[in-house]
Chain A
Amino acid sequence: MSSTESLLSVAGLEVAYGRTAAVQGIDLVVGEGQVVSLIGANGAGKTTTLRALSGMMRPRAGRIVFAGADIAGLPAHRVAALGMRHVPEGRQIFAELTVDENLAMGAWLESDGAEIARRREQVLERFPRLRERLTQAAGTLSGGEQQMLALGRALMGAPRLLLLDEPSMGLAPLFVEEIFGIIEGLKREGVTILLVEQNASAALEVADTAYVLEGGRIALSGPALKVAHDPAVMAAYLGG
């Protein structure tokens, strides 16, 4: 895939916590409409990569080109304005706001009331459970419902690129299945997704392209099907 049709292209990205380097020079491309999975062990630098992409952390070096603009080092709110939506690790919903207020904050950058109402209706159709809980404080939702709210909140921003950090973490198997079903659905609708997952088999199944991170570097990349059949990947991440 040529870089002209890529929505996101990352080159030589380095990110550090103080003096500890967490990401040590990675290159990564996400094409429009693609689902790209980033897999790897705990501490491989997956979450840090997403945080640098969305502006939650300043990278130490490297280029991040998103929708034609160099966004490396921009604050999160300006990256969001370009159409990137990051559903962070641990969901980070606003626990003290109601479900409806959380959704409204997802559409903060949209000023057209009719458009906001339309998106809200779409999100509530996708997550009917949220409709029953609109006036409830978000902190009272179950873990699975909170993940749906976090996803719904991100979709309220009509993202061009959705970054998902461990959407299945800590969820009951039934919810995990539901979350991956939703990701499949979004993919069919043409939403571009960069997915970070511990659940490597599910992540590889849904993805077009996959990257394997090890110690802050890319150990392997390619079409997801090919990565899934790599012997080393099978041994390390897919349980043999």
Chain B
Amino acid sequence: MLAQQLVNGVLLGATYALFALGFTLMFGVLKVINLTYGFYFTAGAFAALFFTRYVVASVWLALPVAAIAAGIIAMACDGLLLTRLRRRGAPELSSLMVTVGAVLALNSAAAALFSPDIRRLPVGLVSVESFNFWGVRVTTAQFLVLGASIVLVGALIWLLRGTRVGVAIRAVAENPEAAGLMGINTGRTAALVSFVSGALAGAGGMLIGLNFNAIHPYMGEEMMLRGFVVVIVGGLGDIRGALIAGLMLGVVEVLTAGYIDSGMKEAVSFAILVLVLWTRPSGLFGAPKLRRA
């Protein structure tokens, strides 16, 4: 029983980590708490839904489609909403409030367009087969979620640590002015970071849609609450922290649901959030730094 709960928790936590990584990356580089981030998650799930229903019923193709679609939407939102504020050096609160307004507009537009009903990915998209390891049951969907999360997180870390573009992203995160003096186009870097973050959110949306078999316009909002917990517990802008905190939150939620009450999941998550803010305001793992990728 406990082993099964832990496995479920880690698998759930992998998607939380994936989702929070994009959020923390966006904050770490662009220095703005972008609340439209939850919408990219929803957008990814819907892109996967429409793609698998009307184009090809393939999970392997749907994942990149969801990621790219959400990435493009994220890039467009950042470009339209925040570039002008960034250029003028507007206070962080203005950017935050712009994203508050934008996400409400985007969510209600999505609800009006697609109806707030819960939708499901096509039946048979993923085999319903499950595997048994010493009494612990793991479904094909869960394997897929875990595999995709590992690949995406690995790709992000490789991008940031192993490529020149990644080093430039970290340089811009630390000192955009000095990065400009190196010849780095900071506007283009912001667009790239938006794309990558949005793509991570979109991939997360599709994977959660797959795992729970439920897609609806407000799924991103529910996820944002968890995103906040993960990102604050892990430390804003801290990639490694988001990974660990994401996995922890998944396990805590599953254990709370299993041993206390499933309605208490959120209460426990937010109690942790408050506790961390009280005691370790910059996160459990120290100062917020993109270096800790």
Bound Cα distance A56, B176 (Å): 11
A-chain residues with CB within 8 Å of residue B177 when the two chains form the complex: 56, 76, 88, 92
A54 at the interface (CB under 8 A from B): yes
B181 pairs with A108, CB closer than 8 A: no
Q: Which of B15-23, B116-124, B182-190, B268-276 contacts A (4 or more CB under 8 A)?
A: B182-190
Q: Which of A81-95 contact B (CB under 8 A)?
A: 81, 85-86, 88, 92-95
A92 pairs with B180, CB closer than 8 A: no
Q: Which of A8-16, A97-105, A184-192, A217-225 contacts B (4 or more CB under 8 A)?
A: A97-105
Bound Cα distance A149, B133 (Å): 54
B289 pairs with A96, CB closer than 8 A: yes
B-chain residues with CB within 8 Å of residue A86 when the two chains form the complex: 181
> Closest 3 A-B residue pairs measured CB to CB?
A76-B180, A80-B183, A109-B183
Tell me the minimal C-beta distance from B47 to chain A in angstroms. 33
A97 pairs with B181, CB closer than 8 A: no
| Size bracket of the A interface | 20 to 34
B183 pairs with A96, CB closer than 8 A: no
B281-293 interface code vs A (CB 8 A; 1 in, 0 out): 0000000011100
B164 at the interface (CB under 8 A from A): yes
B264 at the interface (CB under 8 A from A): no
B35-68 interface code vs A (CB 8 A; 1 in, 0 out): 0000000000000000000000000000000000
A144 at the interface (CB under 8 A from B): no
A55 pairs with B170, CB closer than 8 A: no
Known interface pairs A75-B180, A96-B289, A101-B171; 5 further A-B residue pairs with C-beta atoms within 8 A, sorted by A's residue number:
A56-B180, A86-B181, A94-B171, A97-B167, A97-B291
Chain A residues with CB under 8 Å of chain B are: 54-56, 75-77, 80-81, 85-86, 88, 92-97, 101, 104-106, 108-109, 137, 153, 157
Chain B residues with CB under 8 Å of chain A are: 164, 167-168, 170-171, 174-175, 177-186, 289-291
The number of A-B residue pairs with CB atoms under 8 Å apart is 70
B184 pairs with A105, CB closer than 8 A: yes
Bound Cα distance A82, B140 (Å): 55
B178 pairs with A94, CB closer than 8 A: yes
Contacting residue for B174 out of A55, A95, A108, A109, CB 8 A: A95
B183 pairs with A94, CB closer than 8 A: no
* Contact status of A88 and B164, CB under 8 A, knowing A77-B183, A96-B289: no
Bound Cα distance A97, B171 (Å): 7
A94 pairs with B184, CB closer than 8 A: no
A108 pairs with B164, CB closer than 8 A: yes
Tell me the minimal C-beta distance from B176 to chain A in angstroms. 10
A108 pairs with B183, CB closer than 8 A: yes
* Contact status of A105 and B290, CB under 8 A, knowing A94-B175, A96-B174, A97-B170: no
B-chain residues with CB within 8 Å of residue A108 when the two chains form the complex: 164, 168, 182-184
B-chain residues with CB within 8 Å of residue A97 when the two chains form the complex: 167, 170-171, 174, 291
27 contacts between A and B (CB under 8 A): A54-B181, A55-B180, A56-B177, A56-B181, A76-B181, A77-B183, A77-B184, A77-B185, A77-B186, A80-B182, A81-B183, A94-B174, A95-B174, A96-B174, A96-B289, A96-B290, A97-B167, A97-B171, A97-B174, A104-B167, A105-B167, A105-B168, A105-B179, A108-B164, A108-B168, A108-B184, A137-B291
B-chain residues with CB within 8 Å of residue A109 when the two chains form the complex: 182-183
Bound Cα distance A85, B167 (Å): 19
A-chain residues with CB within 8 Å of residue B183 when the two chains form the complex: 77, 80-81, 108-109, 157
Bound Cα distance A137, B167 (Å): 13
Bound Cα distance A92, B182 (Å): 11
